[in-house]
Structure 1
Amino acid sequence: MTIDHTALEGLRAGLEADDYSMEVTEAGDRLEIRISAGPDACADCLVPKDMMRSVLHSALGVPEEQIDINYPDETLEPGGR
């Protein structure tokens, strides 16, 4: 899987502005995304997962169906929806 790391860093910077961090792990043909909240995180600043998946797809070039997303206080599950 080829990921646009420059775009990834741009997405991370945007999340960090709202006190979130993003961990990205390649697992076979899947991309696991874990977003964590810091103590000053803006609770209303995270978009719905489907929208985040679309943003990640557009920015990183990874098919949406291969992106699993974990938001704060959730357990990552296959399909991450």
Structure 2
Amino acid sequence: MSVDEKQLDQLKQTLQADDYRMDVDVRGDSADVAIVAGPDACEECLVPKPLMQSMLGPVLGIDPASIRLVYPTDGPGADVTTS
């Protein structure tokens, strides 16, 4: 499968509305995704990581379990969650 660029852009726009930016790096069968908060971002507005991974899997064309996801609340040096 390949990345559904249209759906990815829609997801990025949805996050932007809450002052978040999503950086995505897909490499083969895995991906690194970082969600970065802007100054006006609402911490409670993000869905739990497992839900975000399940939403991203079909969009990125990979197994949600192979998405390494970092949230703004993880802070520097935080462990990256894969589930």
**TM-score in same-fold range (> 0.5):** yes
2:43 counterpart of 1:43: yes
| Larger helix percent | 2
Unaligned stretches of 5+ residues in structure 2: none
- Deviation track 1:1-49 (CA, whole Å, cap 9, x = no partner) reads 6211111100000000000000001234211100000000011100000
**Contact 1:69–1:76 (8 Å) recurs in 2:** no
**Paired residue secondary structure (1:39):** coil
Matched residues in 2 for 1:59 and 1:30: separation?
Answer: 12
Aligned length in residues: 80
Question: How much identity, in percent, do the aligned residues show?
Answer: 41
**Contact 1:31–1:68 (8 Å) recurs in 2:** yes
CA RMSD after TM alignment: 1.8
2:31 counterpart of 1:31: yes
